[in-house]
């Protein structure tokens, strides 16, 4: 059984650029959630996908968008990058919407 | 707004002592409670989950839940230097609500 995998592990982008982060959920898990974790803070909820539909969103602007594919893998897209978008982006998968979350290793995004 | 509060620490304990980590939450509808451990630069790792009032033990870890007081805690017995990490408390309501995290408590176990 494979765990949650994220790519890339590290990324450096320039302010104003766009970025796509990818996540493969754990085998059998149909729910994927994305979190942003700034240095010294707890993870902040961005959005959640359940069976390819977005079914929850945190306080993030529309330039944060996502997709979930039929195999339950997911993408997070961020447009018009800002310096404050620099953070660790975490993907978590779960079976259904009430179970424990398994996190991937994260993508460290640096915006310069 | 649903909130999860933790002391940021650092909490320093000597090796072999009991570390006590605390968490309060605002949403009375919360039903599931989790403790994650996060080493610096790494992703959170689930170490305990608890769903009903009382204590739940797993090895050196004990989670305690008091829904009336909206309080959940984690005890680490015989603390080891390898336990030095940030411990995140996370709370889940029902349905399709997301897992809400506290800011985490940094634990330092001194050898």
- Span B52-74, mean pLDDT? 97
The span from the first CA to the last CA of chain B, in angstroms, equals 40
Provide the shortest C-alpha distance from residue B72 to chain A (in Å): 16
Q: Which two three-digit tokens encode residue B95? A: 């349905």
Would you say how long chain B is, in residues? 111
More confident residue, B27 or B1: B27
* A6: pLDDT strictly greater than 90: yes
More confident residue, A28 or A2: A28
B103 vs A: CB within 8 A: yes
* B89: pLDDT strictly greater than 70: yes
- B32: nearest CA in chain A? A98
Hey, is A85 helix, strand or coil?
helix
Distance CA A41, CA A19 (A): 22
- A34: nearest CA in chain B? B98
Tell which of A54, A100, A108 to mutate to test the B interface (max B CBs under 10 Å): A100
Asked if A42 and B97 come within 8 Å (Cβ–Cβ), the reply is no
CB A76 within 8 A of CB A66: yes
* A1: pLDDT strictly greater than 60: no
Q: Could you tell me the pLDDT band of residue A105, with boundaries at 50, 70 and 90?
A: very high
Residue A83 sits at φ, ψ, to 5 deg, of: -60, -35
């Amino acid at each position: 059984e494979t765990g949650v995998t994220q790519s890339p592990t590290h990324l450096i982008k320039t302010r104003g650029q766009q970025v796509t982060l990818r996540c493969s959920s754990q085998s059998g898990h149909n729910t994927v959630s994305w979190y942003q974790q700034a240095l010294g803070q707890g993870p902040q909820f961005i959005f959640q996908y359940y069976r390819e539909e977005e079914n929850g969103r945190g306080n993030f602007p529309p330039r944060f968008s996502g997709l979930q594919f039929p195999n339950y893998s997911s993408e997070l897209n961020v447009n018009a990058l800002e310096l404050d978008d620099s953070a660790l982006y975490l993907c978590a998968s779960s079976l259904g919407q009430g179970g424990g979350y398994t996190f991937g290793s994260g993508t460290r995004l640096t915006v310069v | 707004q649903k909130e999860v509060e933790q002391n940021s620490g650092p909490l320093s304990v000597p090796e072999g002592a009991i570390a006590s980590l605390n968490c309060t939450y605002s949403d009375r509808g919360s039903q599931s409670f989790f403790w994650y451990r996060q080493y610096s630069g790494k992703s959170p790792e689930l170490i305990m989950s608890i769903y009903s009032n009382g204590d739940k033990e797993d090895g050196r870890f004990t989670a305690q839940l008091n829904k009336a007081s909206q309080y959940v805690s984690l005890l680490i017995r015989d603390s080891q230097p390898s336990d030095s990490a940030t411990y995140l408390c996370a709370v889940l309501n029902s349905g399709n609500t997301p897992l809400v995290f506290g800011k985490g408590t940094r634990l330092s176990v001194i050898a």
